[in-house]
Amino acid sequence: MKRVIAVAVLTVLTVLAVCNAHAQSSVTLYGRVASGLDFVSNVATADGQSKNNYRFGSNQYGISWWGLKGDEDLGGGFHAVFNLESMFTAGTGSLPDSSLFNRYAYVGLANETYGSLWAGRVMSLTDETGFYIDPFGEQATGIANFAKGRAWGSRANTVTYNSPKWSGFSFRLQNGFGNEAGNFRGGRQFSASATYSIGGFNAYGVYEEIRDADGKFSSLYSASREYMAGATYQLSALKFYTGYQQLVSSGKDTVLDATNPVGATRNQQEWLGATYQVNAALAFQAAWFHGNVNHGGGSGNLGVVGTTYNLSKRTFLYATFGAMFNGGSAAFPVETADQLPLPGHNQQGGYFGMMHYF
């Protein structure tokens, strides 16, 4: 870890030094830090009991990150761009894995007329679309609960095209290479998304497929097809949200594992929500989510309320509270992929804290 931190510091100093030597280039250092407290009820324990958990909360509202963005004017409307971005857990100061730049690590070309083309690690198109159509902006409690975070995270070894906007319409394409000799489909990822905006109305849609090492859709939550669509409508201080998400794996190839003990091949979810901006500082959020899984995986309903209060343009306080109601053998958590309840048991939770951007 010390070596990783040293590399990060050296990278920042080197990039800033290069930037100073070339006036036509610009590099921006940015980031955010979030921390707070968290509570989850009815957590399943190894002895088959349920216990409550009061804990420090680092990533529930959103994980912390820092990054560097660079832009060089090449002339003729073209720019060379790069982005290096790393997420970390504020409570421990640690990286979630051994990768330094685990969100973005790409270089590319950009043009206002033709769009931009990036090569490297980039956040998934499903992650972006989910952020826009989730009333809670893809917090730990929100649309990711039923899909177990399938849409979250970055995609490695990708080529990503971002179109310009034409009369409110734009699209993105992303292909992630599996780098398997003689097996182009092995470990491959492909995604396409589109957005349309007119007045206060915005519509979003995305499709993504992730294949396993053999080129198959063998895991509902890690090697599958994902479909997501939704819309928002801004009416003065009130904003409405609605959306639909579906995960599909292959019936003949799906493998049972800890995330899918019943061998389900389909997971679908619908939601409605709204946010209300009381004034420049205070806002409220509320939403209801429903999800169900085939092959006896059960169903669930999630109700969530939240609030944010801006202390400044870059700092705000947050609080989110949710209640998960599980039906059948479902064991959906109130916070995504974390602190599971016993099958068929309900769960409540909440977190509050502070977020600062720099």
Q: What is the pLDDT of residues 213-224, one digit of tens each?
A: 999 999 999 999
Label residue 202 by pLDDT band (50, 70, 90): very high
Cα of first residue to Cα of last residue in the chain, in angstroms, is: 24
Structure confidence at residue 94 (pLDDT): 94
- Three-state secondary structure call for residue 2: helix
What are the pLDDT digits (tens) for 49-91? 999 999 999 899 999 999 999 999 999 999 999 999 999 999 9
Rounded CA separation 175/341 (Å)? 36
Domain of 149, in residue numbers: 2-357
Rounded CA separation 131/353 (Å)? 20
User: What single DSSP character describes residue 166?
Assistant: B
- Give the residue among 122, 205, 124 at the shortest CA–CA distance from 171: 205
Distances (CA, A) of 170 to 202, 204, 210, 243: 12, 10, 23, 19
Distances (CA, A) of 349 to 43, 303, 320, 323: 10, 11, 9, 7
Q: Are 172 and 125 in contact (CB under 8 A)?
A: yes
Label residue 273 by pLDDT band (50, 70, 90): very high
What are the pLDDT digits (tens) for 319-352? 999 999 999 889 999 999 789 999 999 999 999 9
Residue 19 has pLDDT above 90, yes or no: no
Structure confidence at residue 275 (pLDDT): 98
- Three-state secondary structure call for residue 1: coil
Q: Exposed/middle/buried for 196, CB within 10 Å: 0-12, 13-18, 19+?
A: middle
For residue 300, give every residue at least 6 positions away whose Cβ sits within 8 Å of its Cβ, in sequence order, or none. Answer: 145, 146, 290, 291, 292, 324, 325, 326, 327, 330, 332
**CATH number where 275 lies:** 2.40.160.10
Rounded CA separation 19/25 (Å)? 6
Dmax over CA atoms of the chain, in Å, equals 67
Rounded CA separation 256/191 (Å)? 25
Polymer length of the chain:
358
- Confidence (pTM): 0.91
- Three-state secondary structure call for residue 105: strand
Residue 18 has pLDDT above 90, yes or no: no
Count structural domains, the chain. 1
